[in-house]
Amino acid sequence: MFARPQWLILLLVLIAGLVWWRVPADTQQLSRTALIMGTLVEIRAFGDDQQQLNQAISDAFAEMTRLEDLLSSHRPDSDVARLSSAEKTVKVSAETAKLLQLGQQVALRSGGAFDMTLGAVKQLWAIETDHPQIPTAEQLQTALHGIGPRALQIDGTQVTKSVPALQVDLGGIAKGYAVDRALAVLRRAGIRSAAVNAGGDIGLLGDRQGQPWRIGIQHPRNKGQLLTTLRLADRAVVTSGDYERFFERDGVRYHHIFDPHSGQPARRSQSVTVVAADAASADALATAAFVLGPRAGLKLLEDWPAVEGLLVAADGTVYQTSGLQRSD
């Protein structure tokens, strides 16, 4: 065999090919978790270099922590806290102004179902604290005073409140925005395949090694069961459900998504999942559609460009937008 040069050449070519094929390192995967914005954030990224992945994920976490400082109502010097404590007009960062504008757009289009000025209502219910309570009608009346899509006047970076007592809460949009920013940081670091999961608010960068990411959608009543699985790439998925944070009193479930019209937990839906290009929009739209309920909520999602959604009504019926691709 080795007497013939063509065999030898063929063998050398084969070996050269194998060497070339083996030398580039296998694609690395890195997954890390951190607690940010009061929720468990998992970032998973694929790349060639473990060190680079590690650095990129650290940067993404740092970016989310920065946004927590900027947008949390619990931080006294955050934009949101300053806005809440202000008498009338406050200058906020350009970033906060842009996010408020996006929120206002959803608020207007949903007829006020999404509202960023429910801070006082949330404080009354205190659902995310140790001592939740059911507020009286008068208390709610006071807390709802002045709220609505037009309660905040945004002029450049100047934000003006309709009434001084207005409390701003970006709970329905800030987490989504933080996911978007984390993905932007990862993208800038040259990563082409990553996922950020902030307690179920999921942002996807690229696909999962040539395959779409598979996103399971939690069944709102049976824990551990899936409603469906979505196959997605370069999308964001956010689910709002009444099962996430709630307390029960006298057999009634009081959860954390409030109807701005009544100040009571919204009763028309069990959960809404929204698939959009960015997690901030998905986050706000999921809340809005949840409050609106099956008919108006589904219409909102259908009318919003490039958005799909899945809605479980209060009676357990599952509705979905026409363009949603399920894979179950």
Show the beta-strand stretches assigned E in 140-232. Answer: 152-155, 158-161, 193-198, 201-205, 213-218, 226-232
**What is the DSSP code string of 277-293?**
SSHHHHHHHHHHHHHH-
With CB under 8 A as the contact rule, the residue among 3, 5, 22, 250 that binds another protein is 22
Q: Work out whether 316 is an interface residue with another protein (CB under 8 A).
A: no
Residue choice 4, 5, 6, 130 for contact with another protein (CB under 8 A): 130
- Interaction of residue 245 with another protein, rule CB under 8 A: no
Between 120 and 173, name the residue whose CB sits nearer to another protein: 173
Q: Write each residue from 196 to 215 as x if it is in contact with another protein (CB under 8 A), else as -, in one continuous string.
A: -x-xxxx-----x----xxx
- Site size for another protein (CB under 8 A): 41
Residue 133 interacts with another protein (CB under 8 A): yes or no: no
Segment 45-64, which members bind another protein (CB under 8 A)?
A: 58, 61
Among 73, 78, 84, 239, which residue sits at the site for another protein (rule: CB under 8 A)?
239
Please identify, using beta-carbon distances, which residue of 260 and 309 lies nearer to another protein.
309
Please report whether residue 325 would count as binding another protein according to CB under 8 A.
no
Q: Using DSSP bridges, classify how beta strands 89-91 and 158-161 pair: parallel, antiparallel or unpaired.
A: antiparallel
Which amino acid belongs to residue 65?
T
Report d(CA 215, CA 221) in Å as an integer. Answer: 18
Q: Could you tell me if 275 and 230 are in contact, meaning their C-beta atoms sit under 8 angstroms apart?
A: yes
CA 74, chain centre distance (Å): 19
* Start-to-end CA span in the chain (Å): 55
Q: Give the Cα separation of 83 and 91 in Å (integer).
A: 8
Residue 311 φ/ψ, nearest 5 degrees? -130, 130
- Which of 7, 8, 25, 31 contacts another protein by CB under 8 A? 31
- Asked whether 320 and 310 are in contact (CB, 8 A), the reply is yes
Sole binder of another protein in the list 133, 244, 264, 318 (CB under 8 A): 244
Please say which residue, 88 or 245, places its beta carbon nearer to another protein. 245
How near is the Cβ of 150 to another protein at its closest, in Å?
31
Q: 167: which 2 tokens? A: 């409390």
* Residues found near another protein in the complex (CB under 8 A): 15, 18-19, 21-22, 29, 31-35, 38-40, 42, 44, 58, 61, 130, 195, 197, 199-202, 208, 213-218, 226, 229, 237-239, 241, 243-244, 273
